[in-house]
Amino acid sequence: MNLHPALTAGRTAVITGAASGVGLAAARRFAGLGLNVVMADRDADSLDEAAAAVRAAAPGAEVVALAVDVAEFDQVAGLRDLTFGQFGDVAVLMNNAGVSGGGNAFQNRDGWDRVLGVNLGGVINGVQAFTQAMIDQNRPAAILNTGSKQGITTPPGDTAYNVSKAGIKALTEGLQHTLRETPGCLVTAHLLIPGFTFTGMTRGAPDKPAGAWTASQVIDFALERLTAGDFYILCPDNEVTRDIDNARITWAAQDITHNRPPLSRWHPDWKAPFAEFLERQIPKS
């Protein structure tokens, strides 16, 4: 498979939230492609175990692990300095660290602070610490920010999480616009939007649900679409197809344009109209 020009053996990938889930799957994949891998996570013990697993899976790969709280800009800047100091290069920056457990719009202030600090603040810190240095390399490079479908359709439940992921979407869109308007810039930005994925954050049972993708499937899909030049890397899963995602996203946007109640998909008066809309949007086999 052809790959994005940044994904070249001997170059370097930096991944936050790398101790488990999608971040760990990305570290394994990048190391397997011959890249140096710098793995960052707040959980130092889990990170060390994950780094050892990556080294075992890709013998000869140069893997560095650094405990980092992405909510702290100085620590993210330290991650940048360590990476450029040791390797002189960053081909891929994957701002992936994330947590859940925020709360609704007026509860759990501590949860809000934690979720916004890690999910949104961590991505902002990564973008602000690394981007100019990556541009200055004058080599192909990619910034991959992990968003969520919950940042687009914003379902009821963890409003803090939705807000954080909606912020990542807006940030990454603005970043890509700035990059493409920068003369001579060889860095691209991309928004990874996983579907239902079996990760450390979503494990409610020891076995993967039939409807979920594995983290490795998400990364394989992400690299395929990254190579194709997609900005919105919208992942399906074993339950939700791209057609269903398209319909749900369109309906959510039309809450505004049709002047419906917010989150009308979950409103009792709009349950039947949404079901009819979804039925019309899905191609008949």
Catalytic residue among 112, 130, 161, 213: 161
Of 47, 90, 103, residue with least CA distance to 70: 47
Q: Which domains does the chain have, with CATH numbers?
A: 12-238 (3.40.50.720), 241-285 (no CATH)
**How many other β-carbons are positioned within 10 Å of the β-carbon of residue 279?**
10
Q: Report helix, strand or coil for 148.
A: coil
Q: What is the predicted pLDDT for the residue at 160?
A: 98
The Cα 280–Cα 250 span in angstroms is: 13
Tokens of 33: 């492609």
pLDDT at 205: 58
For residue 200, the SS3 value is coil
Which H or E run includes 178? Answer: helix 159-180
Calpha distance 104→94 (Å, rounded): 28
Print pLDDT tens along the chain (285 aa). Answer: 678 999 999 999 999 999 999 999 999 999 999 999 999 999 999 999 999 999 999 998 999 999 999 999 999 999 999 999 999 999 999 999 999 999 999 999 999 999 999 999 999 999 999 999 999 999 999 999 999 999 999 999 999 999 999 999 999 999 999 999 999 999 999 999 999 998 865 445 567 889 999 999 999 999 999 999 999 999 999 999 999 999 999 999 999 999 999 999 999 999 999 999 999 998 876
64 burial type by CB count under 10 A (0-12 exposed, 13-18 middle, 19+ buried): middle
| Separation of alpha carbons 285 and 282, rounded Å | 9
232 has catalytic annotation: no
Three-state DSSP class for 33?
coil
Tokens encoding 155: 């379902």
Q: Under a CB-based contact definition with an 8 Å cutoff, are residues 112 and 160 in contact?
A: yes
Please count the helices (runs of H) and the strands (runs of E) in the chain. 10, 9
DSSP string, 13-52: EEEESTTSHHHHHHHHHHHHTT-EEEEEES-HHHHHHHHH
Question: What pLDDT score does 95 carry?
Answer: 98
> What predicted TM-score, i.e. pTM, was given to this entire model?
0.95
What is the distance between the alpha carbons of residues 130 and 83, in angstroms, rounded to a whole number?
10
How, if at all, do strands 141-146 and 12-16 pair?
unpaired
**Long-range contacts formed by 75-79: CB under 8 A, 24+ apart:** 76/122, 76/125, 76/126, 76/129, 77/125, 77/129, 79/14, 79/16, 79/38, 79/40, 79/129
**pLDDT at position 201, please?**
53
